Every structure is written in C-alpha cells, then in structure tokens.
Amino acid sequence: MFDRIISELGPWNWMVLGFVLLVVEVIAPGFFMLWIGIAALIIGAVSLLIWDAAIWSWQVQVLAFLALSLVSAFVGKKLMGGRDQPTDQPLLNRRGAQMVGRMATLAEPIKDGRGRIKLGDTLWRVSGPDLPAGTQVRVTGAADTDLELTVERV
C-alpha cells in the first residue's frame, strides 16, 4: 500500500514531505526542520519540472535533497545569526564571574588551598593561599563551572 501511494504521488512526495516538516517545525519550533522542509519543497518543485528526465532518478533526488538540506541549514544558521552576537549582559547566568572583584570575609579558613566565603546569602568554595577564618579577601577569578572562586588576601 505504501509503495502504491509513493508511486501515485510521483513528484508530489517531496511536497508532502516538505509540508510535513514545516508542520513539525510549527509544533516543535527550533528553526531546524524549517530549512529541511524548504529543501524538500525545492526538490519537489524541481521534480515537477523534470520528472520525466532520465537522470532524475530517486537516487539523484535523495542525494540532491541531502545536499540541499545541508546548504539550506547552513544558510539558515547564517541568516538567523548565532550566539556570536555581543550582549549587553555578558555575565548573565555566570554567577561566579559576577563575583570577581568583590570583597568578602572568610567564613571558613583556607586550608590546603581550599576554604569558604559568604557572599550575599551563599557560601562559596574558594581556593587561594592558606588563611585563617575572618580574613578579608578579594575574589580574583571564577572557575568555568562557577563552582569555585579564586581569592587573595586584601
């Protein structure tokens, strides 16, 4: 039955696939299926024009669709921009980096290079030179994971 539907639709298979992918994009937006759906619609339009050409076999159609999908996804990424755009809040969601430069008092001594400070209502793990509790320190850096701050004595 499936074979019969495919053979009866002919070049419209690509159009159906394109519209299905566009509907999937509407249901679960992410701007990815959009570009693949557009590629399928383009292959469908080309198929309508040259369906009877000997070179336009299903294998060539699939290869053209795959190539056009890659190209359209790449072009779509360039058109929509990426994460390379500058932002007015570069430290958003990087709490540790927001703490750099702040002064604090050691809540726990730094022993063997590790201790804790309290900034706001949060206890932060810190690394730095061994210092007793109560010492004033300045935050000089944050780990990439924002789990540990680097401090120095003021």
pLDDT at 10: 81
Which has more confidence, 24 or 95? 24
pLDDT band at 58 (very low <50, low <70, confident <90, very high): confident
* 59 inside domain: yes
What mean pLDDT, rounded, does the chain reach? 88
What is the reported pLDDT for 82?
62
- pLDDT tens for each residue of 69-105: 999 999 988 888 766 667 788 777 888 888 999 999 9
Which residues, 6+ apart, have CB-to-CB distance to 115 below 8 Å?
A: 106, 107, 108, 109, 125, 126, 127, 128, 131, 133
Does residue 90 belong to any structural domain of this protein? no
Full residue range of the structural domain in which residue 126 is found: 95-153
Q: Is residue 28 included in any domain, yes or no?
A: yes
